Amino acid sequence: MLENLEPAKLELEGKTYLLPTVRGSEGEKAININSLRKDTSYVTLDNGFQNTGACISDITFIDGDKGILRYRGIPIEQLVEKSNFSETAYLIVYGKLPDNDEYHKFADTLNSHSMIHEDMLNFFHGLPNSAHPMGILSSMVNSLSVFYPEVYDPERENEAFDVAVARVIAKIRTIAAFSYKKSIGEPFVYPKHRYKYCANFLHMMFASPVNDYKLDHVLIKALNQLLILHADHEQNCSTSTVRLVGSSQVNLYASICAGICALWGPLHGGANQKVIEMLGYIKDQGISVQDYLQMVKDKKNSIRLMGFGHRVYKNYDPRAKIIKKTCREVLDHLNIKDPLLDLAMEMEEAALNDDYFIERKLYPNVDFYSGIIYKAMGIPLDMFTVMFAIGRLPGWIAQWKEMRDFKPVKIGRPRQIYTGPNLTDFTPMQERK
């Protein structure tokens, strides 16, 4: 619910302007500057959108100071305990928990859309085995718009939304597993209707024509938890990209493809791969934890402690807290002793007691421990960010739909302050110095 508050007063060049202010349902306040440029000829400047609210949203609430994350009001701690990824995806996309019939209908629709068009396999065959799975994933998701051109358009047809949702959530998992099979030169393994979402993914990843994959309920639960914890995170870089691209009224698949590309970067979802690479490097080079922290703190280097820090959380990331516990459970269950987990825990303890990290309120984020679980499951390093994308999909869909349903519809189009040359005449080639 949005509440109007007393207007803010702005003094500018000897004049006073009144700007509307609003408060959201958890008390977050904003000054609405929609009319600022029209009234004053000023725009606002905010590098990296550090303090810009780009939308009002009903989907996800984060309190970064207290370390709170809720989807549609429900704390993530309850969802990881009591829900599974399909049900949480329904919650995020449709705004409420499904009843029994709705849940089974949704799960059945996911199953019925789990295969990809056979002609899409030609794309896989044409790619080099070395292709990064994020590059494959983004291209394949974009290509859904040509294989399934009956894309959902909120202006015209509402009933097609359910199909578009099921299609992309179901197929992203198949595309991801096929890209792995392609990279190791094994035949693709098709989904099975009798398996639920996460079990089906593990089956497509690890079964082969000669071997079944023995389902492991601890791993299935852990995967459900990981995907739930990634399912939405309000206006992060990839979600803002999905909204911005979608605001031009391009279709859902193209918008999600853009989100996948934004997620790939190491400062965002790509950090889960970088954390394992960093820990491996520290271990292989025999660098001590304290020496590595010195390297990170030295501003002459551009080295960051990957998996640490967050734009919004100035407290322990609540997702990291759960993932750290799950990590220990999975490793114990599989009887794996991973020296990278010991190193990560040692690094965390040292960083949390170091003034540099304390002053800047830098804590482990969602990516710090997740890779150790994926590694234990047998998922290859370059697919970690793909796992993030599978998890984030319900959030992208819900945010895209919310953006398209918001009235008045506005294309995303920020302003700038120009600092280039003033009017300059063209110089013919022979006169150029």
Residue closer to ligand CMC, measured from CB, 114 or 326: 326
DSSP type of residue 47: G
**How far, in Å, CA of 232 to CA of 396, rounded?**
7
**Shortest approach of ligand CMC to residue 267 CB, angstroms?**
4
Residue 311 binding ligand CMC, by CB under 6 A: yes
Residue 113 binding ligand CMC, by CB under 6 A: no
**How far, in Å, CA of 329 to CA of 325, rounded?**
6
- Contact with ligand CMC (CB under 6 A) among 107, 164, 258, 366: 366
**Shortest approach of ligand CMC to residue 279 CB, angstroms?**
13
Quick check: 34 and 11 in contact, CB under 8 A?
Answer: no
Long-range contacts of 27-34 (CB under 8 A, 24+ apart): 29/5
Question: For residues 42-71, which are near ligand CMC according to CB under 6 A?
Answer: 48
Looking at the DSSP bridge assignments, the partners of residue 200 are: none
**Shortest approach of ligand CMC to residue 74 CB, angstroms?**
20
**Shortest approach of ligand CMC to residue 46 CB, angstroms?**
12
Pairing of β 60-63 and β 29-31: unpaired
Quick check: 54 and 235 in contact, CB under 8 A?
Answer: yes
Residue 310 binding ligand CMC, by CB under 6 A: yes
- Contact with ligand CMC (CB under 6 A) among 29, 66, 360, 410: 360
Residue 306 binding ligand CMC, by CB under 6 A: yes
- Choosing from 104, 310, 342, 405, the catalytic residue is 310
Using H for helix, E for strand and C for coil, what is the string for 320-350? HHHHHHHHHHHHHHHCCCCHHHHHHHHHHHH
Write the Ramachandran bin of 360: left for phi over 0, alpha for psi from -120 to 50, otherwise beta.
Answer: alpha
Binding segment for ligand CMC among 27-35, 157-165, 170-178, 304-312 (CB under 6 A)?
Answer: 304-312
Residue 267 binding ligand CMC, by CB under 6 A: yes
- Tokens of residue 184, six digits: 């190791």
DSSP alpha helices (H): ranges in 298-424? 318-334, 339-352, 355-359, 367-377, 384-405
The pair phi, psi for residue 5, each rounded to 5°, is -110, 180
Residue 233 binding ligand CMC, by CB under 6 A: yes
DSSP type of residue 208: B
**How far, in Å, CA of 181 to CA of 32, rounded?**
50
Q: Is 119 a catalytic residue?
A: no
**Shortest approach of ligand CMC to residue 286 CB, angstroms?**
21
- Choosing from 367, 382, 405, 425, the catalytic residue is 367
Residue 376 binding ligand CMC, by CB under 6 A: no
Residue 141 binding ligand CMC, by CB under 6 A: no
Residue 309 binding ligand CMC, by CB under 6 A: yes
Torsion of CA 33, 36, 42, 46, to 10 degrees: 10
Residue 348 binding ligand CMC, by CB under 6 A: no
> Do you find a cis peptide bond into 428, omega within 30 degrees of 0?
no
**Shortest approach of ligand CMC to residue 317 CB, angstroms?**
7
Measure CA 88 to chain center.
Answer: 15
DSSP type of residue 19: E
* Interface size with ligand CMC, residues (CB under 6 A): 21
Q: Can you tell me whether residue 9 is helix, strand or coil?
A: strand
Residue closer to ligand CMC, measured from CB, 48 or 421: 48
Binding segment for ligand CMC among 56-64, 334-342, 363-371, 394-402 (CB under 6 A)?
Answer: 363-371
Residue closer to ligand CMC, measured from CB, 204 or 229: 229
Residue 358 binding ligand CMC, by CB under 6 A: no
Q: Can you tell me whether residue 71 is helix, strand or coil?
A: strand
Binding segment for ligand CMC among 10-18, 179-187, 308-316, 416-424 (CB under 6 A)?
Answer: 308-316
Residues contacting 320, CB < 8 A, separation 6+:
363, 364, 365, 366, 368, 369
**Shortest approach of ligand CMC to residue 163 CB, angstroms?**
29
- Contact with ligand CMC (CB under 6 A) among 148, 161, 264, 308: 308
**Shortest approach of ligand CMC to residue 2 CB, angstroms?**
26
Residue 236 binding ligand CMC, by CB under 6 A: yes
Residue closer to ligand CMC, measured from CB, 178 or 363: 363
Q: Is 268 a catalytic residue?
A: no
Going by C-alpha positions, the residue among 116, 117, 90 that lies closest to residue 105 is 90
Residues within the interface to ligand CMC (CB under 6 A): 48, 233, 236, 267-269, 271, 296, 304-311, 360, 362, 365-367
| Catalytically annotated residues | 310, 367
